[in-house]
Each structure stands twice: as structure tokens, then as C-alpha cells.
Amino acid sequence: MKERNRNDLIHLRRVQLTRAAYKVVGEKGYSDFTIKDIAKEAGLSTGLVHYYFKNKEDLLFKLLKGMNANLKNDLGKALSALEDPQEKLLAFCNEAFDLVHKEKAYFSVLVDFLAQINRNKRLRQAMVKLFQSYRDEIEAILQEGMAKGIFAVKDVRFTSVTIVSLIQGNIFQHLIDQEAFDYFAATEKTKKQIFSLVMKDS
């Protein structure tokens, strides 16, 4: 019983610190935050932060893993209730595009992490896994649609890469320059373009 309580406390503290890190890194950026900032945001001591995370890099790596796990979980819930591959593909697109508004801090953190991947192998590997999971999810939807005679895709891997590129390209351009184009209108046009790539000619 004591061991279970201890494990529950460890999990609670990690969640508490990860949430604090998410907020602080989103506000200050990768280079400018300190362990003290995380501790202050979480309402804990710096010693306790070091107890749960080896160092700043360890905390950031686990933060990115946690964020990615949450996104995959949310996407999984959205897709699990659907049976039609067209609806699944649309849900994937909607979930991805809506992140800009639902999780504003996520992309601030993600951009900072992307800037570090050439210097940090652990963060690079986490990003590799994130984008691989996006492609895998789309490929599964495309394969299901093809099996049901709904989609006609010659190169599933290339098509999944293209779809991820179209979605991420819109998102990052919008984050860099929000006045450049109408984000909602662009996402609607992009979804139509994505479906034109995969739909079987009637």
C-alpha cells in the first residue's frame, strides 16, 4: 500500500512539473527558462524538480514525450468513434488544424524544440517518432479506405508524407505570420485538396 501511494505521489509530481514546464517553456522559450522558473510555476522547490528530473534536458525530453502522448491519445479518441475512412481522414485533419487554437502553447514549445534537434539527439528522436506517428495514422486510414474501395492511392507512403506536409505547412506559416492569410479558409481549401489526392474517381 505504501509503495502504491509513493508511486501515485511520484506520478502526481511529474504531472505537476510537466504542466509547469509546458507553460514556462511556452512563455520563455527553450533557451531562456531555468529549473527555478519551473519550480516557481509548480509551487515546489528546485531540489524537488531535480529529484524527479535529472537535468533541464531530461525535463524537456519528458515534456515533449508527454505532449506527444497526449496528442496521440486525443486523436485516438476522435478516430475510435468513427468507422468511415473518409470521416476518419477528416477528423485527423480537423484535430491537427484545431490544435492551433486548442493548444496554443504546444506549437510555441514545438518550434523551440525543432530549433534544438541538430544539437540534441534525444529531442530529435522524439520529433522523428512524432512525425512517424502522424504518417502511420494517415497510412492506416488510407489502407482502410482502399480496402473498402473508397480511396485510390498509388503510393500510400508518399501520400501520407504529402498530407502531413500540407497540414504542418499551413500551421507553421500561420504561426509565423498570422496576417498572411485567412487560416480557416486555408484549412478548408487544404482539406479539399487532401481529399482530391485520395478519393476514387466516380
Angle between helices 104-114 and 56-80 (to 10 degrees): 130
Same domain for 98 and 160?
Answer: yes
The confidence score (pLDDT) of residue 13 equals 82
Same domain for 60 and 45?
Answer: no
Same domain for 89 and 25?
Answer: no
CATH of the domain at 145: 1.10.357.10
Same domain for 94 and 161?
Answer: yes
Report the chain (202 residues): mean pLDDT per 10 consecutive residues.
Answer: 69 82 79 85 88 79 77 81 93 90 72 77 82 92 95 96 95 88 96 94 62
CA neighbor of 52 nearest in space, from 5, 18, 2, 1? 18
Same domain for 80 and 131?
Answer: yes
The confidence score (pLDDT) of residue 7 equals 73
Same domain for 135 and 105?
Answer: yes
3-state secondary structure the chain: CHHHHHHHHHHHHHHHHHHHHHHHHHHHCCCCCCHHHHHHHHCCCHHHHHHHCCCHHHHHHHHHHHHHHHHHHHHHHHHHCCCCHHHHHHHHHHHHHHHHHHCHHHHHHHHHHHCCCCCCHHHHHHHHHHHHHHHHHHHHHHHHHHHCCCECCCCHHHHHHHHHHHHHHHHHHHHHCCCCCCHHHHHHHHHHHHHHHHECCC
CATH of the domain at 24: 1.10.10.60
pTM above 0.75, yes or no: yes
The confidence score (pLDDT) of residue 87 equals 95
Domain that holds residue 46: 1-53
The confidence score (pLDDT) of residue 111 equals 75
Number of structural domains (the chain) is 2
The confidence score (pLDDT) of residue 192 equals 96
Same domain for 85 and 162?
Answer: yes
The domain boundary, picked from 53, 77, 97, lies at 53
164 contacts 92 by C-beta, under 8 angstroms: no
Same domain for 123 and 139?
Answer: yes
The confidence score (pLDDT) of residue 116 equals 76
71: cell is: 496528442
Same domain for 43 and 64?
Answer: no
